[in-house]
């Protein structure tokens, strides 16, 4: 196993520096500057940097190979969440109300460790590293793809990435053939009726009654339209209506999410949400304004050939702790890139079983950093030796 050029202490220091400066989707300017300064310090003669005008916080790095037959892509997300950190760590977020509560600081650090290795040991194949803004919102991967950034020598033949998992032991790599994460769709719905005095319902049109009917009827989508063997989720997380108890509400707003492992199921569920919204509007004489936004949040479908090779490599590589794992209903916009380029996403265990992703108290175990780097340096070196 090749050891990365960054020591464990280096990786921990980078991760803590990044953890202090979390930024929200499409506003990752300080984070991007930190990464770019790191890249320039590598002073690597076979390295090129690229910016994307349409997505200013994106950063791509190209490494020229010694005898390239393909281009291997590696992606990390760089944005954070609107969460007030409650870890009490000495290197906690110094941006109020923003936190790396999903571990993207870990993702970036591992990517920088892999990059540092191949910037010191020139790879055989070409490589493209994609430091991607806006994974949590605004689907940055799709935006950068749509801007034409992955063309010519920046076109990866294969794409890899990881996501940290607090439920797994530190440093463990886990993935599966097929779908790893669900695709998702945001639901934003407003019913508009007519407000009025509670004593005169005949002169008003109650948006709460209509919205309540919608809430109950969408429960049938998963129970009666989705194949029970495949599963799906329709969750409504907000319901806002009315101002006072003796006034009939003229409007009601709902927000939610659709999730499923297959794109065909997601599209069917979107259609049912639309039908039910329209049906409720017709039944109660209200207006329904529905927005369904999928953006880049397609199911994360691991490509058969690359994933079989990754699993077989990780299972036998010395020092790698590998395990298979069931799919999860979490969403990840790497799913969009995996629809364009074959590749694989894996979990990296970060051993914080008390806290879930997006928790204000999430504290990944930094012992995961070096094993994550070493596993991918080894695997990508192995990929370059494959025909």
348 within 8 A of 110, measured Cβ to Cβ: yes
Q: Which helix (H) or strand (E) holds 289?
A: strand 287-293
d(CA 244, CA 311): 58
Q: Characterize the bridge pairing of strands 173-175 and 322-324.
A: parallel
List the one residue out of 153, 164, 160 whose CA is nearest residue 62.
Answer: 153
Residue 332: closest CA among 167, 187, 188, 137 = 137
Is residue 301 annotated as part of the catalytic site, yes or no? no
d(CA 73, CA 128): 5
Q: Is 136 annotated as a binding residue?
A: yes
Annotation marks residue 77 as catalytic: yes
Output the CA torsion 117→121→124→130 (10° steps). Answer: 30
Distance in angstroms (rounded) separating the CA atoms of residues 104 and 100: 6
Coil, helix or strand at residue 225: helix
Check the annotation: does 188 bind a ligand: no
In the numeric block, which tokens belong to residue 190?
């407003």
Nearest CA to 96 out of 110, 77, 82, 107 is that of 82
Buried b (16+ CB within 10 A) or exposed e, 196-221: beeeeeeebbbbbbbbbbbeebbeeb
Cβ count near 19 (within 10 Å): 26
Query: Using an 8 Å Cβ cutoff, are 91 and 71 in contact?
Result: no
The active-site residue, picked from 77, 125, 206, 332, is 77
135 carries a ligand binding annotation: no
> Catalytic one among 136, 206, 301, 374?
136
d(CA 376, CA 346): 10
Binding site residue list:
102, 104, 136, 163, 358
Among all residues, which ones are annotated catalytic? 77, 136
Binding site residue list for Mn(2+):
102, 104, 136, 163, 358
């Amino acid at each position: 196993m090749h050891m990365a050029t960054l020591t464990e202490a280096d990786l921990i220091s980078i991760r803590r520096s990044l953890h202090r400066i979390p930024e929200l989707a499409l506003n990752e300017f300080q984070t991007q500057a930190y990464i770019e300064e790191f890249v320039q310090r590598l002073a690597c003669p076979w390295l090129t940097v690229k910016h994307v005008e349409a997505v200013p916080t994106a950063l791509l790095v190209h490494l020229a190979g010694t005898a390239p037959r393909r281009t291997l892509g590696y992606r990390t997300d760089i944005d954070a969440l609107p969460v007030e950190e409650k870890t009490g760590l000495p290197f906690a977020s110094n941006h109020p109300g923003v936190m790396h509560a999903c571990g993207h600081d870990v993702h970036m650090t591992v990517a920088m460790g892999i990059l540092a290795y191949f910037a010191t040991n020139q790879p055989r194949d070409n490589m493209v590293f994609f430091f991607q803004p806006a994974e949590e919102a605004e689907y940055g991967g799709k935006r950068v793809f749509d801007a034409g950034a992955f063309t010519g020598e920046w076109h990866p033949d294969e794409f890899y990435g990881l996501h940290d998992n607090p439920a797994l032991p530190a440093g463990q790599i886990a993935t599966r053939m097929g779908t790893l994460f669900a695709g998702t769709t945001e639901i934003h719905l407003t019913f508009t009726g007519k407000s009025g005095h509670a004593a005169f319902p005949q002169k008003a049109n109650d948006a709460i009654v209509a919205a309540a009917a919608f809430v109950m009827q969408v429960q049938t989508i998963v129970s009666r339209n989705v194949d029970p063997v495949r599963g799906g989720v329709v969750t409504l997380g907000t319901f806002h209506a009315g101002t006072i108890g003796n006034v009939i509400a003229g409007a009601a707003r709902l927000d939610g999410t659709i999730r499923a492992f297959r794109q065909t199921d997601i599209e069917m569920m979107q259609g049912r949400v639309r039908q039910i919204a329209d049906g409720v509007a017709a039944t109660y004489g209200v207006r329904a304004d529905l927005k369904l936004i999928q953006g880049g949040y397609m199911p994360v479908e691991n490509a058969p050939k690359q994933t079989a090779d990754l699993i077989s490599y990780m299972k036998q590589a010395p020092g790698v702790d590998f395990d298979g794992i069931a799919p999860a209903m979490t969403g990840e916009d790497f799913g969009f890139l995996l629809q364009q380029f074959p590749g694989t996403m894996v979990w990296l265990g970060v051993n914080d079983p008390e806290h879930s992703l997006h928790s204000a108290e999430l504290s990944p175990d930094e012992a995961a950093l070096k094993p994550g780097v070493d596993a991918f340096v080894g695997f990508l070196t192995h990929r370059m030796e494959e025909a």
